[in-house]
Chains A and B, each alone.
Chain A
Amino acid sequence: KNEVEQSPQNLTAQEGEFITINCSYSVGISALHWLQQHPGGGIVSLFMLSSGKKKHGRLIATINIQEKHSSLHITASHPRDSAVYICAVQKTSYDKVIFGPGTSLSVIP
C-alpha cells in the first residue's frame, strides 16, 4: 500500500477557478511537503508543514495531523499554474522524503 495518496490524479480547471488537491498519508510524520514539477522536470518546494496552515501568494496549504490529511488550494488559478503537484512526507527530521504519485493540473484560459 502506498504511504502517500493524492486525489485527484488529474485535474482540468478554467482560469480563475478555485482548485483543491488532497493528500492523505498512512504513517506518522514530522513534516509534509507540497512540491511543484513543471514539464521540464525540475522540482520546486512550495510548502513544508508540520501543523496548521501556510499561505504564499495564491497558494494555501493546510494539514490535519489527527486525520493524516493535507490540502493544497490555489485561488484564482492561472494557466501558468499548470504543473504536477506532489505531496510528500518525512517520518522524522532529516529523513528521506516519501513522494506521492502527484496530481497533474491543467488550467485552461
Chain B
Amino acid sequence: EPEVTQTPSHQVTQMGQEVILRCVPISNHLYFYWYRQILGQKVEFLVSFYNNEISEKSEIFDDQFSVERPDGSNFTLKIRSTKLEDSAMYFCASMGTGSEAFFGQGTRLTVV
C-alpha cells in the first residue's frame, strides 16, 4: 500500500526559530497539499502545489510560510519565524489520478 511519509513526527522549537517540515508524497502523484490542525479544532487547508508552483493558498499561509519541492520527491513546508500560535499538527497530502487524497501521519509542532 503506497503511503505519504512525514518527518519528524514531533518537533519542539523555540519561538522565532525556523522550522522545516518534510513530506515524501506518493511517487506518481502530482498534486500536493499542506493542512494544519490546531488542538481541538478542525483540519484547515494551508496550501496546494502543482507543477512546481503554488496553485492555491489560504489566508493562514502568510509570508512566514513557504513550500518547496526541492528534488522531485520531497515536499517541504517552511515556517520562517515560528510563533506560539503555529503550534499544531501539520498534515501533508498528495493526490494522483482519481483525486483520492492520501494523508501522512502528521508532524506535531510545538512552539515554546
Using a CB–CB cutoff of 8 Å, the interface residues on chain A facing chain B are 30-31, 33, 35, 40-45, 48, 86, 88, 90, 93-102
Residues from chain B with a CB closer than 8 A to the CB of A99 are: 35, 42-44
- A94 and B102 alpha carbons, distance in the complex (Å): 12
In Å, the complex CA distance between A97 and B33 comes to 9
Which size bracket describes the interface of B in this complex? Answer: 20 to 34
- Inside 8 A of A97's CB, which chain B residues have their CB? 33, 35, 45, 93, 101
A96, B42: Cβ atoms closer than 8 Å: no
Who on chain A is nearest to B98 by CB? A48
Residue of A nearest to B103 (CB): A43
A44 / chain B contacts, CB cutoff of 8 Å:
103
Min CB gap B45→A, angstroms? 5
With contacts A97-B33, A97-B93 known, is A86 near B101, CB below 8 A?
no
Contact (Cβ within 8 A) A98 B103: no
Report chain B residues within 8 Å CB of A43.
43, 91, 103, 106
Decide if B19 is an interface residue (CB 8 Å cutoff).
no
Among candidates B42, B43, B103, B108, residue contacting A45 with C-beta atoms closer than 8 Å = B103
Starting from the known contacts A86-B42, A94-B31, 4 additional A-B residue pairs (CB-CB under 8 Å) come to A43-B103, A95-B48, A95-B99, A96-B48
